[in-house]
Amino acid sequence: MTTQLSVAVVGAGYWGPNLARNFSASRDWRLAAICDLDGAKAAALAEKVGHVDVHTDLAELLERDDIDAVAVATPARTHHAVVLAALRAGKHVVVEKPLADSRERALEMVAEAEERGLTLMADHTYCYTPAVLKIRELIAEGALGELLFIDSVRINLGLVQPDVDVFWDLAPHDLSIIDFILPNGLRPAEVSAQGADPLGAGRSCIGYLTVPLENGAIAHVHVNWLSPTKIRSMVIGGTKRTLVWDDLNPQQRISVYDRGVDLDQQSVDGVNRTAAAISYRLGDTWSPALPEHEALGAMAAEFATSIREGRAARTDGLAGLRVLSVLEAASRSLGRAGRMEPVEAAEPILTAVAS
């Protein structure tokens, strides 16, 4: 049996308890402490997960030699300071989405982890759900063929956030999933965003994001706080099959349609393209069986494995950075009436920072 790693959860608000519960239940981890500026919240959570230590001072927590890693569930604007402090104290870090509140800060965090040889992982929780793991597997094995489009919808009556618009609140989920399932990750050259604020809330409450992908494919993300109906769906069209993920249908979350459109290549002669015949294939629909497990449990296991094997986590800091790069370009596009805006690449800049 491998020795357990020890972890402290920083932030005992809404999301921290979910992390604490999963680390505490994990065979890979020993949950050693809870830290929150609010001592009462930290103490209540510490008691609930088995009387672990309580800290209200992050610096004091980070001085402890018996803690290998921290899991950060504080508000996004604090991620940069908390994560840098933890990395500088030699701790591996998993941090809640979004990785930081700006791409520049995220870049600094990723560079710091790389320089110190520590794991920096983003908790892109959805990526560890059985449905998304299966989608990634099906795409990787070529079951859908070449990807043509991704259409993601995440709408319901949501809380209008005081500090971020609907893109920054909801689209990190869609973007991190798209980054995870695309074999080469999400590296668009440009994006366009259109938003609406019909109630005068002061920020976009409805958002449409268009992301051109490789080889002429395209992704579209619709996020919305004002929809009375809740929809969480993603349609992924490929040359061989089309996959529909309906996250609100536990009986059949994923359906794979063996149907599609074929372009008769022989008639595409470059001279008379309009004569190209389109034919429709109508085949079966099937629904893969999905294992039952909690996403955060799988996330905690991946965090431990990435540390033990000294390899990048599946949703590493760079994945978080790619999501932020798209969000920042989307914000620029919003300010320019939906014009396509270039997306800054994560990796080349990181190499420049390191050299």
Ligand X SMILES: NC(=O)c1ccc[n+]([C@@H]2O[C@H](COP(=O)([O-])OP(=O)(O)OC[C@H]3O[C@@H](n4cnc5c(N)ncnc54)[C@H](O)[C@@H]3O)[C@@H](O)[C@H]2O)c1
User: Which of the ranges 37-45, 190-198, 202-210, 325-333 carries the binding residues for ligand X, by CB under 6 A?
Assistant: 37-45
**Closer residue to ligand X (CB): 45 or 150:** 45
23 lies in the site for ligand X, by CB under 6 A: no
Q: Are 151 and 125 in contact (CB under 8 A)?
A: no
125 lies in the site for ligand X, by CB under 6 A: yes
Site for ligand X, residues 92 to 111, rule: CB under 6 A: 96-97
Q: Are 35 and 8 in contact (CB under 8 A)?
A: yes
- What are the residues whose beta carbons fall under 8 Å from the beta carbon of 258, sequence distance 6 or more? 240, 241, 281, 283, 284, 285, 286
**Closer residue to ligand X (CB): 17 or 237:** 17
Among 21, 41, 103, 314, binds ligand X (CB under 6 A): 41
Number of residues that bind ligand X (CB under 6 A): 23
179 lies in the site for ligand X, by CB under 6 A: no
Nearest-5° angle of CA 124, CA 125, CA 130? Answer: 125
User: Which of the ranges 11-19, 210-218, 286-294, 311-319 carries the binding residues for ligand X, by CB under 6 A?
Assistant: 11-19
Closest CA relative to residue 296, chosen from 28, 4, 1, 37: 28
* Closest distance to ligand X from the beta carbon of 67 (Å): 14
11 lies in the site for ligand X, by CB under 6 A: yes
262 lies in the site for ligand X, by CB under 6 A: no
Residue type, 236: I
12 lies in the site for ligand X, by CB under 6 A: yes
Site for ligand X, residues 180 to 219, rule: CB under 6 A: none
Report the run of H or E that residue 193 belongs to, with start and end: strand 190-196
* Closest distance to ligand X from the beta carbon of 281 (Å): 37
303 lies in the site for ligand X, by CB under 6 A: no
Number of neighbouring beta carbons within 10 Å of residue 80: 19
Residue 257: C-alpha distances to residues 104, 219, 236, 254, 290 (Å): 41, 19, 10, 10, 17
Among 8, 9, 10, 186, binds ligand X (CB under 6 A): 10
User: Which of the ranges 29-37, 63-71, 189-197, 270-278 carries the binding residues for ligand X, by CB under 6 A?
Assistant: 29-37
Among 1, 3, 14, 271, binds ligand X (CB under 6 A): 14
CA distance 246 to 243: 10
Helix, strand, or coil here: 217? coil
Nearest-5° angle of CA 115, CA 2, CA 306? Answer: 30
* Burial of 182 (C-beta count, 10 Å sphere; 0-12/13-18/19+): buried
Residue in the block written with tokens 């920042």: 328
Q: Are 243 and 151 in contact (CB under 8 A)?
A: no
290 lies in the site for ligand X, by CB under 6 A: no
Decide the pairing of beta strands 5-10 and 29-35: parallel
* Closest distance to ligand X from the beta carbon of 297 (Å): 13
The number of CA neighbours under 13 Å toward the Cβ of 49 is: 27
Among 75, 142, 202, 342, binds ligand X (CB under 6 A): 75
* Closest distance to ligand X from the beta carbon of 193 (Å): 20
346 lies in the site for ligand X, by CB under 6 A: no
* Closest distance to ligand X from the beta carbon of 124 (Å): 7
Q: Which residues bind ligand X (CB under 6 A)?
A: 10-16, 35-38, 41, 58, 73-76, 78, 82, 96-97, 123, 125
